[in-house]
Structure 1
Amino acid sequence: MNIFGFIQEIRDHLKYSFDEVDGWFEKDRITLDYRPSNGGWTVRQILEHIYLTNFYLLILIEKGSKKALRNSGGQDLDAEIRNYVFDREKFEEVGEYGAFKWIRPEHMEPKGQMQLNEIRSLMSMQYHQCLIYLDRMKNGEGLLCRTTMTVNELGKINVYEYIYFLSLHAKRQLTQMENNESERIGNKGI
């Protein structure tokens, strides 16, 4: 496994996901507040949900990165890198809206109590947090700590995979926001 290539891939995906999500903060009020016909969340609510999900994932990423760095003193990092296999297919499903049933915890549901500019600012900080973790674990250390991820039955995943998961979750939500906007535009003439 080329761990440096994998870390760069995660960086690139994070940049893409966060940049794409950031563009939604510029949408007009009608788009932001449009409720889809299926009764789902508005774009405004989806943006808050992305922030909340990132918030809780970053708690796990922080703990995992600290443990991974502590483990780097005692484990054979070279062997971990050599033996690491990334299950790309299973992870890519995380970024596909509707690929599997997603049951989110209640604490990740939007409450509507945050202003968009606050959410946007916090998301920018979250993006930079992810980059800091990748910088700290730049030599493959993120492989040295695994934590259980129940979503899509991913099982025990390492810290890099958690960061990638965070980015894929945002990608999944982008599709949902695009669907909302398409439906709103389609219903304009009604």
Structure 2
Amino acid sequence: MKGEAALSINRTIEVINHELLSTKSELSAWFNKDISSLKYAPIRGWSIEQILEHITITNHFLFILIRKAKIKALHAALKEDLLSELSRYEYNLDQLDDIAVHGSFSWIRPDHMEPTGNVTHDEIRRKLEEQFDECSRILNEIRQGEGILYKTMMSVNNLGKMDVYQYIYFLCQHAKRHIQQMLKVEAEFMSLKETE
């Protein structure tokens, strides 16, 4: 790889790696909070614990796409000229930054991504850790830029076709969106506690 193409794909991988580590750390911190704040049912929407469960459910469905796309991208790298494709690659993760902003656009969530409330606190924590660790492993498997070789359609916010790197970044941004939501629930909980 030469010049700007190498810089672009290296930047993409560095940004995603940072996002994976920081998002995992932010999510982990929620499990150290008082259980009553995690279970508090806000005036509108889900409890923090339900939001955390929803993140694991969404990740599960994203992983179905990410795993398949990674395999197809690695197979494509055996047949296609990766260096030629990388020479045309430009950093594009900023196109997904709106995903991280809670309420930035209308998001119609499928029913199968609703939290059940049947998963324990410890199971949710373990699942999130496993999911983010798997993301890091997948990113390492496509560290030479192979992830740009396969794209899958993403209907959310009319994003269109996304490569494997964008899907992993999307997973982080979706979690960050819900971290904002959890902060709002926590603020509501704290304001109610102050008035008691």
Shorter-normalised TM range: over 0.9
Q: Give 1:109's match in structure 2, choosing from 100, 110, 114.
A: 114
- Determine whether 1:24 maps to 2:30: yes
- Determine whether 1:85 maps to 2:118: no
* Counterpart secondary structure, 1:73: helix
Q: Give 2:142's match in structure 1, choosing from 124, 137, 152.
A: 137
1:124 — aligned with what?
129
Task: Summarize deviations over 1:32-60 as a string: whole Å, max 9, x none.
Answer: 111222x2000010000001111110111
Task: Summarize deviations over 1:116-137 as a string: whole Å, max 9, x none.
Answer: 1011111111111101111110
Task: Summarize deviations over 1:41-90 as a string: whole Å, max 9, x none.
Answer: 00010000001111110111000000000000111212222212344443
* Counterpart secondary structure, 2:166: helix
1:154 — aligned with what?
159
Task: Summarize deviations over 1:137-186 as a string: whole Å, max 9, x none.
Answer: 01000000000001111100000000000000010000000000011111
Which letter does structure 1 place at the counterpart of 2:176? K
Please, which runs of 5 or more residues in structure 2 have no aligned partner? none
- Determine whether 1:169 maps to 2:174: yes
Which letter does structure 2 place at the counterpart of 1:26? N
Q: Distance in 1 between matches of 2:37 and 2:90?
A: 41
Give TM-score scaled by structure 1 length. Answer: 0.95
- Determine whether 1:59 maps to 2:64: yes
Q: Count residues with an aligned counterpart.
A: 189
1:87–1:7 Cα change, 3 Å: closer
- Determine whether 1:12 maps to 2:12: no
Q: Quick check: 2:154–2:162 contact (8 Å CA) kept in 1?
A: yes
1:88–1:68 Cα change, 3 Å: closer
Please, which runs of 5 or more residues in structure 1 have no aligned partner? none
- Determine whether 1:43 maps to 2:44: no
Q: Quick check: 1:18–1:170 contact (8 Å CA) kept in 2?
A: no
